[in-house]
Amino acid sequence: MKTAVVILNWNGKSLLETYLPSVMAHSEGAHIYVADNASTDDSVAFVKDHYPQITIIQNKTNSGYAGGYNEALKQVDEPLWVLLNSDVEVTPAWLEPMQAAFNDYSDLAAAQPKILDHKHPKQFEYAGAAGGFIDKYGYPYCRGRIFDSLEEDKGQYQEPLDIFWASGACLFIRKDDFIAAGGLDERFFAHMEEIDLCWRLFHMGRTVKCIPQAVVYHLGGGTLPSMHPQKTYYNFRNSLYCLAKNLKGFTAMRRIFIRMLLDGVAGLRFLLQGKFAHLSAILRAHLDFYRNYSSISKSKPAHYRDEKYYTHSSIVWKYFVAGIRSFGKL
């Protein structure tokens, strides 16, 4: 299957210097693109000088992860796309198990490899680990990661598995499914837009998988550190966006209301910890959700699948009350 590896870049010369060599060394047969989001550093010149075989797509503005990819992918014709963060080190033969899965499963729309932490190679990485899920109220978690608890990779999640969402750090997706689902929602700007996209694929009756026989190492925090208040803002706001977009009627209203109450508890926790910037981020997230609720709630998926999308009702309860810290114990 012809494959395009598309790396979105914004002022990331140092990341390209560090991580592009592995992509070039281990992606035989794939077409490599760097999609630049109007960088002001010399990262584009670096790619042109050192990797003339890479195709450069230059976006006119920095419209975030969602807008950047939506614009760049209009120029990519291969039937299988890999949306790869610029801070990911790939490994030998990383493409083959993924390509084989797409050849074997006609209903497979999107997938991810096993994602380990570049700084701690024996540990799963926050953004995807061994495959993503959400609970009833839109809280994401992974095989190998629940909230901030990261498991050591001991081979416990080596089976390919149907998952709910695949990580945007290394997202394999069929071109036709990406287009049919409507692409990434640019209102998200960054963070959780891949969850919304995979939820729309779920509504279409398509499948998402983790194929752990392929392995990559993700630095994480290349754009925003994990505990940056702006990341808190995007995560809380975009979780509400996901619920408002992908649920209907009373179900949507009830679950959004409960989610807001839980967000209030999180805000109180930040207050007691003295993390006032994060408390402010939650308040801003809710205010922006109120402002945009009408347009968000009206943009329901063209296809709607009224089936259970979650395995566990409340990951918050299981983690903070029941004390469960690993996926295998859920």
Q: Tell me how far apart the alpha carbons of residues 317 and 313 are, in angstroms, rounded to a whole number.
A: 9
Instruction: Tell me what the pLDDT averaged over the chain comes to.
Output: 95
- Segment 276-305 shows an average pLDDT of 94
Say which residues have a Cβ less than 8 Å from residue 315's Cβ, sequence separation at least 6.
135, 139, 141, 146, 147, 330
Please give the pLDDT value at position 190.
85
Please give the pLDDT value at position 195.
98
Tell me the whole-structure pTM to 2 decimals.
0.95
Residue 155 backbone class (left: φ over 0; alpha: ψ -120 to 50; beta: rest): left
Please give the pLDDT value at position 155.
97
Instruction: Tell me: pLDDT of 221 over 70.
Output: no
pLDDT tens figures, 5-26 = 999 999 999 999 999 999 999 9
- Other C-beta atoms closer than 10 Å to the C-beta of 119 total 12
Q: Tell me how far apart the alpha carbons of residues 188 and 195 are, in angstroms, rounded to a whole number.
A: 11
pLDDT tens figures, 52-105 = 999 999 999 999 999 999 999 999 999 999 999 999 999 999 999 999 999 999
